[in-house]
Structure 1
Amino acid sequence: MNEEHRQRGYSLRFDWGPAGAEAIVPGCAVAVVVDVLSFTTTLSVAADRGVTVYPFRWRDERARRFAEEHDAVLAAGRSEGGISLSPVSVRDAPDLRRLVLPSPNGSTISAALADRAPVVVGASLRNRRAVTAWLTARRERDPGPVAVVASGERWPDGSLRPAVEDLWGAGALITALLDAGWDGASPEARAAAAAFAAMGDPNPALHDCAGGRELAAVGFSSDVDVAAELDVSPSVPVLSGGAFTARARSARVIDTG
């Protein structure tokens, strides 16, 4: 990997997927994972309810054993019904306290970063204002760089498919940070912010993009509606001890427009 790809010298960095995270996270104080459809959106809904979320790479026998050991619910596949990666299913689930939430993108990246980044945060359109306030308050005691990682999706051959919804989600957070007075954004980070500026109304944009159309085609258009809820969540999911738990945003209000 070329040293130039690490975006050193910039305090606000942006890249894609596991390889991008590997490039830009070293030396950063915080890594922020963005997976709008749907891991970090579902994570924000869980955080709003006070649910502890364990990210897991795959939904297999190891995940089932892990869930049993932690007295947690293992998320099912969307098509199976019940609690799943669907944010609506998590919002509607009764008596949910602990959830093992596998996904091949956002959850996998989060789990991989647990031992590589001092702090890992989950961000989406729903909680970008809360994450901005929390990061800004934290920056006063630790001004180290922040890496924003768009999870992306996968092509059938397993290669990364950059997903525009994650570009928008990352750009939304970066825009809010810039509006809150952050500087030192890399060209890559500024390009993500420009993409968010061009997004327009989040709801039709998310429904029209490939990821939104894919969810609608299998009956989960309501999940896209939840993902489009800009700035409604006060929760900041922070990964510690292998689990995401909610931290309230700073009491200081930061106007991000």
Structure 2
Amino acid sequence: MSAVDDQHRQHAYRVRLDWGPVGAAAIGPADIAVVVDVLSFTTTLTVAVERGIEVFPFRWRDDRAEAYARERDAVLAVQRQDAVPGRPSLSPASLRKAEGVRRLVLPSPNGSTISTLLAETGATVVGASLRNRTAVARWLAPRCVEGASVAFVASGERWPDGTLRPAVEDLWGAGAVLDALDPDGLSPEAAMARDAFRAADLPDALHTCAGGRELIAKGYAEDVVVAAQLDSASVVPVLRGGSFQAVTAQR
């Protein structure tokens, strides 16, 4: 990332925010990286760890995924369109119904891939969504008091040509955590996310934004319903030793 100007790194601030894998690299390294992919990786992740499932993030469209899952005695999640009853996918609604899953390899083009990249920097990686935003804020609060730097990464989506498409639901998701945390030392970018959440008409806006409409049009309206359940989860998925595991935040 030597080509990135220092001004874009936000290192003057302890709490930062940027978009996608390139933005994640630009604002790192940080002590803690909070990945936000509301539709749907971090929402699915939260549903999984609520159910006691250990989740291994994995890069998208990597041919090694099946072997990686076998080595860990884990189930490999399929794409939404390939899901069958009882087989978990990136759909949070489908994962709520899956039975007998103890370990899950969960690839995704955005949140999962970014989590894997951030773990390689040595940061403690946390998954945040609208569902667990207060739990994540409670987990972060004592660490921020101790002076930890925190990089929020809004994962975004992809245009057909592969370029980043900023997704407003991820801005809201990051802002939701920041609203509950209310830390000092926010970069202007992080403060913008907090203010965007405060201004959003949630949960309705999640159904009417581009990402929500896209999933609904494809027949996955239930996934949007699950993602919009603000503060419905009390667990914090923390990436340790290659897998996300549930941590309960202290009140």
TM-score by length of 2: 0.95
- Cα deviation code 1:195-230 (max 9, x no counterpart): 11111122x211101111111111100000000010
Q: What one-letter code is carried by the residue in structure 1 that aligns with 2:241?
A: G
> Which residue does the alignment assign to 2:70?
68
- Cα deviation code 1:43-82 (max 9, x no counterpart): 0001111100000112443000101111101001111123
Q: Aligned-pair distance for 1:117?
A: 3.5
Paired residues of 1:237 and 1:245 also in contact (CA < 8 A): yes
**Structure 1: how far apart are the matches of 2:220 and 2:197?**
24
Q: Aligned-pair distance for 1:101?
A: 0.4
> Which residue does the alignment assign to 2:207?
207
> Which residue does the alignment assign to 2:192?
191
> Which residue does the alignment assign to 2:158?
154
**Structure 2: how far apart are the matches of 1:205 and 1:25?**
31
SS of the equivalent of 2:238 reads: strand
Structure 2 matches for 1:226-245, cutoff 5 A?
226-245=226-245
Give me the CA root mean square deviation: 1.1
Structure 2 matches for 1:1-257, cutoff 5 A?
1-26=4-29, 28-81=30-83, 82-140=87-145, 142-178=146-182, 182-202=183-203, 204-250=204-250, 252=251
Q: Aligned-pair distance for 1:176?
A: 1.2
How many residue pairs end up in the alignment? 245
Gap regions ≥5 residues in structure 2: none
Q: What one-letter code is carried by the residue in structure 1 that aligns with 2:247?
A: R
**Structure 1: how far apart are the matches of 2:160 and 2:213?**
17
SS of the equivalent of 1:135 reads: helix
Gap regions ≥5 residues in structure 1: 253-257
Q: Aligned-pair distance for 1:139?
A: 3.4
TM-score by length of 1: 0.93
